[in-house]
Chain A
Amino acid sequence: MILSEYQSKKFLSSFGIPTTKEILIKNEEELFKAGEKIGYPLVLKVSSDKIIHKTEQGLVRLNVRREELSKVYKEILKNSPPEIEGVLVQEQIKGEREIFIGMKRDKIFGVCVLLGLGGIFTEVIKDISVRCAPLIKKDTFRMMEEIKGSEIFENIRGKKKVNKKIFSEIIIRVGEVGTRCPEIKEIDMNPLIIKDDGYPVVCDAIIIKE
């Protein structure tokens, strides 16, 4: 069983993990009000617990401006299957540094947390670091140093380096979620975007239950 992006992020944020501001709407009447609340430009996504690869299916639109809000909304609905949870009106995070954090339940070692480069590169480069729960701070800092793309956490191209204290806490919490919720099989947070000011935010997530 899979939780939708909306459900997954709500669950994760209840553990203190920073996620994007977003509003789930069920019909066009709610659209404009949500848009005003979130702010432009924004992201529109179809939310469903049955769709996993949204981008390929034209169900995600970025950089949506106020003028085209209704038009884009109708377009993604046209691409989507009839049974969906709703449409996510989501804040658009500015930042080029994408990270992947995952949780897996290993048969031998139990709850494991993975850290790696995110976005489309995750499965191409496979540059990841793993630790078993419960993680301590030292583990998380080592993980950040270990991945080949470790420079991504530092000051690069004028962007502020990631707030390592907060980032470390997120990694530890993901392990805690796995430990405290035995019904959760896997967690995928991809991407977490490191904002230009160094703060990380989860922009997409999926939780898989037994």
Chain B
Amino acid sequence: MEKFFNPESVAILGVSRNPQKGGNFVLQNLMKLGFSGEIFPVNPNANKILNFKCYPKVEDIKKKIDLAIIVLPPELLLPAVKDCAKSDVKRIIIATYNFANTRDAINISKIIREKNIRIMGPNSIGVVNAENNLGTAITRIRKLKKGNIAFFGQTGMTITAFLNWMTDQNFGLSKGAAIGNKFDVDEIDLLEYLRMDEKTEVIGMYLEDVKDGKKFLKIAKHTTKKKPVVAIKSGRTEEGKKAALSHTASLAGEDIIFEGVFKQSGIIRVNEFDELFDLLKGFSYFKKLKGNKIAVVSVTGAGAVLSVDEISSQKLKMAKLSNSTYQKIKKLYPVWEKNIRNPLDIWTAVEKNGMDVAYGEIVEKVMEDKGTDAVLVIFIPVPSLSFNISKVFSQIKNKFPDKFLVACVMGGNKKSSEEYFNSLEELKIPVYLTVKSAIRVISKIYSWGKNVC
């Protein structure tokens, strides 16, 4: 997989002069993103495209080509692959949606096996690599932000969705891939590669099916021991219930088996993209959650109560704070306040001391308490109340780098919640919009940590 992501030289087969056509987009992407390697467009009908010298065949380039990207109609695929094979190209991305016919596919299969060539696709928009600004897609890609999350899927749409989502977030990606029809390269290759990739700390994937189940299970197990893997698997509709002889036959539908496989391999399965992104974000900020005792600090009583239900349903525990912690916190509340217990409703403390002191002091004492493993802080943006949120929380983050701090920003209008969101995320505190999603993330990070030991 290395040369797919880190080629020093790339040939593009099927670049036309027409800026609306796919092959041309690949060239534009490579240029605009600032790809650091050499680029060779291949088109027998042009001398120069976008200021790059154009070659009639790969054979004519006479330089080592690490990666070829083919954007040609299906009937031209076989000759294109032959051209690459003759020129000693070992890695090919085929963006074309399919082979012309089975015979071509078989012939291509023979060629790549003989010559040790790997093909990604067909129907693949290829890869992105934030390290070397590589983007091989036939659709426009925005600027790549460097980070530690890798994502791959079968369709180009999922990668596009991922890249779009990333632009709103405060962290970046390491590598991405759309593996298309999995004629050759498949999810197992990607998992094996990303497992060893130093730039990747979290792996997300969208899966539709698996070809070699036993190998998948083996490699997946191996990968999840090192890095968290979060997956969405599209379910298959169950076949109509056939008259089954045994319980086993009628119960063991395909998705139940996949469910078991994910659990067995340590892959975290989610059912929706928002859950996927929530988790990738959480893991990207904080992986090593050792325990399941949660403390909640909330400006809204409702948030506090909701968190209790969620914590229990996600099989986490409410932290039991020490007496000395409670003594310190009590000082911030009005004398008559009786309800000072985890989950902490701090509204009356805010009334007494203002947002900065109430949040700052209480969250600090709670983070200090040995009985807490993670702290959930719930906010409701109230523009009329002054709150120096960045200053307060950067102090807390600096003081307690090893304790998981998660935020939930509930309600408020777009502008005010955005301010809270950005201030906290800049400090690498993951922000979620519901108590449920925040706690779900804590729970799944905890489970992963437990399984890895």
Could you list which residues of chain A lie within 8 angstroms of chain B, going by C-beta atoms?
2, 52, 100, 102-104, 106, 108-110, 112, 114, 116, 122-123, 126, 128-132, 139, 142, 146, 186-188, 190, 206, 208
Contact residues in B for A122 (Cβ distance below 8 Å)? 247, 251
Contact assessment for A102 and B248 in the assembled complex, using a CB-CB cutoff below 8 Å: yes
The B contact surface, by secondary structure, is: helix
Q: Which residues of A contact B212 (CB under 8 A)?
A: 108
Partner of A123, one of B245, B250, B261: B250
A132 in contact with B247 given A106-B252, A139-B264 (CB within 8 Å)? no
B257 pairs with A112, CB closer than 8 A: yes
Residues B251 and A114 in contact, CB atoms below 8 Å apart: yes
Q: Do B248 and A186 have beta carbons less than 8 Å apart?
A: yes
A110: which B residues are within 8 A, CB to CB?
213-214
Contact A126 B251, beta carbon cutoff 8 Å: yes
Inter-subunit contact A104/B248 (CB<8 Å): yes
Q: Which 4 A-B pairs have the closest CB atoms?
A: A130-B260, A102-B248, A109-B213, A108-B213
Could you say which residues of chain A place their CB within 8 Å of the CB of B248? 102-104, 114, 186-188
Residues in A with CB closer than 8 Å to B249 are 104, 186
Known: A2-B245, A112-B257, A146-B263. A132 touches B213 (CB 8 A): yes
In this complex, the member of B211, B212, B214, B251 whose beta carbon has the largest number of chain A beta carbons within 10 angstroms is B251
- CB of B382 within 8 Å of the partner chain: no
Contact B261 A132 (CB under 8 A): yes
Task: Known A103-B248, A116-B251, A123-B251; judge A128-B264 contact (CB<8 A).
Answer: no
The residue among B211, B217, B252 with the most chain A CB atoms within 10 A of its own CB is B252
In the complex, are the beta carbons of B256 and A130 less than 8 A apart? yes
A104 touches B252 (CB 8 A): yes
Scoring B residues 393 to 413 as 1 if CB is less than 8 Å from chain A, else 0, what string do you get?
Answer: 000000000000000000000
Measured CA separation A123–B245 after assembly (Å): 12
> Contact at B250–A186, with CB atoms within 8 Å?
no
Is B246 in contact with chain A by the CB < 8 A criterion? yes
A185 to chain B, nearest CB (A): 9
7 contacts between A and B (CB under 8 A): A112-B260, A123-B247, A129-B260, A132-B217, A142-B263, A206-B245, A208-B246
Q: Looking at the complex, which one of B214, B245, B251 makes contact with A109 (CB distance below 8 Å)? A: B214
B206-240 CB mask vs A (1 if < 8 Å, else 0) is: 00001111100100000000000000000000000
Chain A neighbourhood of B261, CB < 8 A: 109, 130, 132
**Quick one: CB contact mask for B351-374 with A, threshold 8 Å, 1 for yes?**
000000000000000000000000
Collect the chain A residues with CB atoms within 8 Å of residue B264's CB.
Answer: 131-132, 139
CA distance A130 to B251 in the complex (A): 10
Knowing A114-B251, A132-B217, the reply to whether A108 touches B263 (Cβ < 8 A) is: no
**Chain B residues whose C-beta falls within 8 Å of the C-beta of A190 in the assembled complex:** 247
Q: B247 to chain A: which residues have CB within 8 Å?
A: 100, 102, 122-123, 188, 190
Q: How far is the CA of A108 from the CA of B188 in the complex (A)?
A: 14
Residue B75 CB within 8 A of the other chain: no
Q: Once the chains bind, are A132 and B260 in contact (CB under 8 Å)?
A: yes
Closest B residue by C-beta to A103: B248
User: CA separation between A122 and B217, bound complex, in Å?
Assistant: 27
User: Which residues of B lie under 8 Å from residue A146 when comparing CB positions?
Assistant: 263
- Is B213's CB under 8 angstroms from A130's CB? no
Of B210, B256, B259, which is within 8 A of A108 by CB? B210
CA distance A190 to B250 in the complex (A): 14
CA distance A139 to B263 in the complex (A): 9
Distance of A146 Cα from B257 Cα, bound (Å): 14
Since A102-B251, A130-B257, A190-B247 are in contact, a sample of 6 more A-B pairs with Cβ atoms closer than 8 Å, ordered by chain A residue number, is A100-B247, A108-B211, A108-B213, A109-B213, A114-B252, A126-B251
Say how far A171's CB is from chain B's closest CB, in angstroms.
12
Q: Which residues of B contact A130 (CB under 8 A)?
A: 252, 256-257, 259-261
Nearest A-chain residue to B209, judged by Cβ? A108
| A139 CB to nearest chain B CB (Å) | 6
CB <8 Å contact, B246 and A102:
yes
Are A109 and B246 touching (Cβ within 8 A)? Answer: no
Docked complex Cα distance between A112 and B251 (Å): 12
